[in-house]
Amino acid sequence: MKSSLFLCLVVSLLFAFNAAQAQNLPHSCAKPDEVSVSHLHLDLNVDFDSKKLTGSAKVTLDRKAADKSLWLDIKGLAIEKVTDESGKELAFTLGREQADLGQAMEIELAAGIDTVTIHYASSPKAEAVQWLSPEQTTDKQHPFLFTQSQAILARTWVPCQDTPGVRMTYSAKIQVPPHLMAVMSASNPQEKNDTGVYEFEMKQPIPSYLLALAVGDLKFKSLGPRSGVYAEPSVLKKAVWELYDTPRMITAAEKLYGPYRWDRYDVIFLPSSFPFGGMENPRLTFATPTILAGDRSLVALIAHELAHSWSGNLVTNSTWNDFWLNEGFTVYFEQRIMESLYGRKYSEMLARLTLDGLKEELNELEQRDTWLKLDLVGRNPDDGMTAIAYDKGYFFLRMLEERTGREKWDAFLKSWFEKHAFQSMTTEGFLDYVSANLEGADSIPVKAWVYGPGLPESCPDVVTEELANVEKAASEFLGELKASDLAAKFATKDWTTHHWNHFLRSLGEKVSTNKMQELDAEFKFTQSGNSEITHDWLMLAIGSDYEPAMDRLEEFLTQQGRRKFLAPLYTRLSKTAKGLRRGKAIYTKARPGYHSVSTGTIDKILGWKQ
């Protein structure tokens, strides 16, 4: 009797715990099982003087349980009031401020309330938003603004249920100063208007991290029937040339994994402080101008962001612990697009560089952070943005492809996207789908990849003759061969950006000043206009203490803010006392021009105190 009572108690406690757990999302206070947001209407004024977005967010609710409140995430927002449809004010409470997460906002809902309007202003320090002065743009004529919401920064400019597990449609009315144009991750204008008021609509339901806005002196040019480019006037021509293959990429992607579901696919080139290579904002990829190499050699980034239109935007990771479902699938899909446009030889070269990078990064990561299924509870989801989600994810899927055979695998993947379109999925959901639908899945060592560290033995190898030849060139150069003889012996004039990347990386961290001078005299690396080559060259220059490249280093670190380039360079600088001094001196000048995503990382690298 006694023991059964005890059992009863334990069981009911467990139940209560589970019910609470079910609501407990890793990085959001939202309780979508009770009340979720199904549509958002933004009405915002963009004020460059005060660096504030001011106005309102009206949310339409799906109330799954009566008597329950609406829980929203906010960070740094000044809330003026909350009203219902009739304009009556509603009571709300704000939770304690938490680092990274911000505050919970609980809005009480009486019976019959299906929409709520939050009147608010964002803070000038909102982490998602970068406000650029005219001097910080390419053309230096007008101010510019852009947002970066992924992973949990949407809450710094829009009150929302900031979890990738909730989807909503949205519309917006944005008022901007004269001479500027606004674009969003939605239906977009192609020309400026005189009123400065722009209206937007996103009819497909999206998670909050895909909310995006850019405002600036923008021009548009078409690339094909359903794609085009936005950029500042002086960048547009170069951008259009570089993205020539975009329409073919869309066609190739559709042929692989089904129709493009977002109507148009456009790309906007942002000023160079954009902290990422690209961001897959639906209908409008945000891109860094550092891929404008002048030879179309860095367009894999466009293939990547386009691929997210399926992996990520259509089928979304449920939580940031499942981030590999977004990025690993996207790297896989990107590779397939590249292969289909440029051939297997070329795409294998890219795959090999990816594998090298992954192995390198594995040495630096904590064991637990090398599982595909991450555990980011209590941490910033940014910590999950490593080569694991991207490249271990890629090789896991490539292993599945190789074991299954391409034909069956492609049919499987296509059905994955079709069956789960506009849904958010967990890693476990994917593994169940594999067990149920992928022939021969039982014999595949899935668990070791997803719930285990490092690179399992079943990881495919990538052998490419192209790069073997480059390695030979590097090793002969480190021996007796003169830089001036490299061209004749290894046909370096046919080398692509990727050959050069591999060559420079194969030289290690340090070479003699003589060798550096030879290389520089022969190939003019210090003057290179290619960001990827410049980055690798400067890494070598820091390691080799090669003074003639140090002005270029300062210039590169000040003129662009892409974290992927900044972080390794500052890290290498911080390895010696002299380097650290130089790094800090450069950072003092460069920091005001960086986006918060980049300063967040570099502050830590340099031990920077504000």
Residues tagged active-site: 305, 390
Least Cβ distance, residue 280 to ligand BES (angstroms): 5
By C-beta, is 341 or 448 nearer to ligand BES? 341
In angstroms, what is the minimal distance from the CB of 200 to Zn ion?
23
Burial class (CB in 10 A: 0-12, 13-18, 19+), 150: buried
By CB under 6 A, how many residues form the interface with ligand BES?
14
Residue 11 tokens read as 């069981």
Q: Which does 518 bind (CB under 5 to 8 A by kind): Zn ion, ligand BES, none?
A: none
CA dist., res. 90 & res. 233, Å (int): 46
Residue the block writes with tokens 């259509």: 314
270 binds ligand BES (CB under 6 A): no
21 class by beta-carbon count within 10 Å (0-12 exposed, 13-18 middle, 19+ buried): exposed
Taking contact as CB under 6 A, which single stretch among the options 101-109, 200-208, 273-281, 455-463 is the one that binds ligand BES? 273-281
Site string for ligand BES, 370-409 (x = CB under 6 A): ---------------x------------------------
Q: Which residues contact 141 (CB under 8 A, 6 or more apart)?
A: 134, 217
Kindly state the smallest distance separating residue 569's Cβ from Zn ion, in Å: 22
Give the strand order in the sheet containing 219-224: 219-224, 227-231, 265-269, 284-287, 278-279
Rounded CA separation 251/254 (Å) = 5
276 binds, among ligand BES, Zn ion, none (CB under 5 to 8 A by kind): ligand BES
Where does this chain touch ligand BES (CB under 6 A) — which range of 125-133, 298-306, 359-367, 503-511? 298-306
Contact status: 127 vs ligand BES (CB under 6 A): no
Contact 31, 71 (CB under 8 A): yes
- 216 SS3 class: strand
Instruction: Kindly state the DSSP code that residue 160 receives in the 8-state scheme.
Output: B
Q: Least Å distance between CB 550 and ligand BES?
A: 26
End-to-end alpha carbon distance in the chain: 64
Closer residue to Zn ion in complex, CB, 327/382: 327
Q: How far apart are CA 338 and CA 304, in angstroms?
A: 9
CB 425 within 8 A of CB 322: yes
Whose structure tokens read 């599982």?
371
Q: Kindly write out the interface string for residues 583-602 of this chain, putting x where it contacts Zn ion by CB under 5 A and - elsewhere.
A: --------------------
147 C-beta neighbours (distance < 10 Å), count = 26
Q: Residue 94 phi/psi, 5° resolution? A: -110, 135
Choose the binding region for Zn ion from 285-293, 324-332, 500-508, 540-548 (rule: CB under 5 A): 324-332
Instruction: Kindly report the number of other CB atoms within 10 A of residue 192's CB atom.
Output: 18
By C-beta, is 166 or 176 nearer to ligand BES? 166
* Comparison of 202 and 387: residue with beta carbon closer to ligand BES: 387
Instruction: Report the nearest approach of ligand BES to the CB of residue 328 (Å).
Output: 11
Q: Are 287 and 231 contacting, i.e. CB atoms less than 8 angstroms apart?
A: no
- At its nearest, how many Å lie between ligand BES and the CB of residue 442? 32
Applying CB under 6 A, which of residues 176, 279, 511, 557 lies at the interface with ligand BES?
A: 279
Q: Which of 58, 238, 373, 564 binds ligand BES (CB under 6 A)?
A: 564
- Return d(Cα 537, Cα 587) in angstroms, integer: 19
- Is the Cβ–Cβ distance between 67 and 112 less than 8 Å? no
Residue at 18: amino acid letter: N
Two tokens, residue 131: 């406000």
Please state the closest distance from residue 488 (CB atom) to Zn ion, in A. Answer: 40
Closest separation in Å from C-beta 331 to Zn ion: 7
**Could you identify the residue written with the tokens 């570089």?**
242
User: Is residue 207 a contact point for ligand BES (CB under 6 A)?
Assistant: no
Least distance to Zn ion, CB of residue 280, Å: 6
Q: Between residues 185 and 574, which has the closer beta carbon with respect to Zn ion?
A: 185
CA 347 to mean position of chain CA atoms: 21
* C-beta closer to ligand BES: residue 308 or 515: 308
313 binds, among ligand BES, Zn ion, none (CB under 5 to 8 A by kind): none
Contact range with ligand BES by CB under 6 A, out of 51-59, 302-310, 414-422, 456-464:
302-310
DSSP string covering 124-146: TT-TTEEEE-GGGSSSSSS-EEE
Position 595 contacts ligand BES (CB under 6 A): no
Residue from 217, 232, 280, 532 that binds ligand BES (CB under 6 A)?
Answer: 280
200 contact, one of Zn ion, ligand BES, none, CB 5-8 Å limit per kind: none
Among 30, 104, 267, 301, binds ligand BES (CB under 6 A): 301
Copy the structure tokens of residue 540.
Answer: 């070598």
Footprint (CB under 6 A) of ligand BES, residues 48-107 = none
Rounded distance, CA 45 to CA 11, Å?
A: 53
Q: How far apart are CA 27 and CA 98, in angstroms?
A: 11
- Of the candidate spans 299-307, 340-348, 421-429, 470-478, the one that interacts with ligand BES by CB under 6 A turns out to be 299-307
Q: Rounded to whole angstroms, how far apart are CA atoms 604 and 602?
A: 5
Stretch that binds ligand BES, among 277-285, 467-475, 520-528, 599-607 (CB under 6 A): 277-285
- Give Cα 456 distance to the centre of its chain: 26
Among 142, 308, 499, 595, interactor with ligand BES by CB under 6 A: 308
Q: How far is the CB of 203 from Zn ion (least distance, A)?
A: 23
Strand partners, 198: 174
Taking CB under 6 A as the binding criterion, the range among 200-208, 274-282, 403-411, 478-486 that sits at the site for ligand BES is: 274-282
User: DSSP code of 459?
Assistant: P
Instruction: Please report how close the Cβ of residue 491 comes to ligand BES at its closest, in angstroms.
Output: 28
Nearer to Zn ion, 316 or 330 (CB): 330
Task: Choose among 402, 374, 409: nearest CA to 459.
Answer: 402
Among 146, 200, 276, 546, the residue binding ligand BES under the rule CB under 6 A is 276
In angstroms, how far is CA 188 from the centroid of its own chain?
21
> How many Å apart are CA 328 and CA 30, to the nearest integer?
27
Identify what 150 binds: Zn ion, ligand BES, none; CB under 5 to 8 Å per kind.
ligand BES
**Closer to ligand BES by Cβ: residue 279 or 438:** 279
Residues that bind Zn ion (CB under 5 A): 327, 330
Residues that bind ligand BES (CB under 6 A): 150-151, 276-280, 301, 304-305, 308, 327, 385, 564
